[in-house]
Amino acid sequence: MIPAFLLALREGLEATLILGMVIGVLHRVGRPEQGRIVWLGAGLAALVSLGAAMGLYVMGISFEGQAEEVFEGMAMLLAAGVLTWMIFWMDRQGRVIQTELEKDVRRAALGGGQWALFSLAFVAVLREGIELALFLTAATFTTTAWATLVGGILGLAAAVLAGWLLFASTSRLDVRAFFQVTSILLIFFAAGLVAHGVHELNEAGTIPAIVEHVWDMNPVLDEDSGLGQILKTLFGYNGNPSLTEVMAYAGYWAIVLLVLRHRRVQMKPAAAQA
């Protein structure tokens, strides 16, 4: 439930903030009546995203045996890759998104481009919705579908409430700090998805285990215990992982740390010039 909640909260808040900025710009330029076009685009995108989520889930439960393990493994690896790319992209582009978005909205509103406003809202919400559908589908393979559904609904509800409070009150959430904290948590979750995805492909015989069990921590912390299940859901904990699972987990973190180090090196000259 916790990963689903965090994923839905983050994706939902991104969509809510974008819609809030669009509506805010429309009010500032004296075109508040065009807000219905924005909500129409957002609503249609939400329905398409819901359909995509249902389609992915039905596809997943339709497989059996080896095909099911391959589907689950590939879905987890794909979700981990998209999740990591999305986190890095948002960190890099987050500073200019608001400025670019305001320019696009002003151009569409003052130019009478209702289709442009509709498309802007539709694409923004659809991107977050499809990403969330993929992430929640992968999350259902590490926990129950019911827990994922409840966590997703609670996360979206919290995102809507947080977005409303941001725009309806004088208090201001440090959005950048919020995204930084959730990014760290979601990178840990993505690393777990990578390891769990490789585990499923080990069982399907698609990726060889090389060494079936590198170690066995189950006598100390059983992966089927209450704490073990929580760690498994959040971080992909496996009490007796294969060698390729360990290599995939370590390789993922090596790539992430290299990317972060490269960004710090690039940021130093910019900070020195400022």
The tens digit of pLDDT for each residue in 139-150 reads: 887 777 888 889
Q: What is the pLDDT of residue 113?
A: 65
67-121, pLDDT tens digit by residue? Answer: 888 998 999 999 999 889 888 877 776 666 667 777 777 777 776 667 878 888 8
Q: How far is it, in rounded angstroms, from Cα 139 to Cα 72? A: 10
Alpha-carbon separation of residue 1 from 28, 31, 75 (angstroms): 40, 41, 18
Output the pLDDT for position 169.
62
Domain ranges (residues) in the chain: 2-273
- pLDDT at position 57 is 82
Q: How far is the CA of 48 from the CAs of 78, 129, 156, 157, in angstroms?
A: 20, 8, 16, 19
Report CA Rg, the chain: 21
Other CB atoms closer than 10 Å to residue 125's CB: what's the count?
Answer: 26
DSSP 241: -
What is the structure's pLDDT at 214?
A: 95
Residue found under tokens 């960004």: 263
Calpha distance 92→61 (Å, rounded): 37
Residue-wise pLDDT tens digits, 26-69: 887 787 888 888 899 999 999 999 998 888 888 877 888 888 88
Q: What is the pLDDT of residues 157-210, one digit of tens each?
A: 998 888 787 776 655 556 667 677 778 888 888 999 999 999 999 999 999 999
Both structure tokens of 17: 């903030």
**221 pLDDT above the threshold of 90:** yes
**What length does the chain have?**
274
The pLDDT value recorded for residue 249 is 95
Cα angle value 203/81/14 (rounded, 5°): 130
Mean pLDDT along residues 217-241: 87
- Whole-number Å distance between alpha carbons of 104 and 172: 24
Query: How far is Cα 5 from Cα 146, in angstroms, rounded to an integer?
Result: 12
pLDDT score at 97: 65
Using a 10 angstrom Cβ sphere, with 0-12 exposed, 13-18 middle and 19 or more buried, the burial of residue 184 is: exposed
Rounded Cα gap, residues 133 and 217, in angstroms: 33
Q: What is the pLDDT of residue 112?
A: 60
At residue 94, the pLDDT reads: 61
Is the distance from CB of 120 to CB of 108 less than 8 angstroms?
yes
Task: For residue 79, give both structure tokens.
Answer: 């979700």
Write down the pLDDT at residue 254: 94
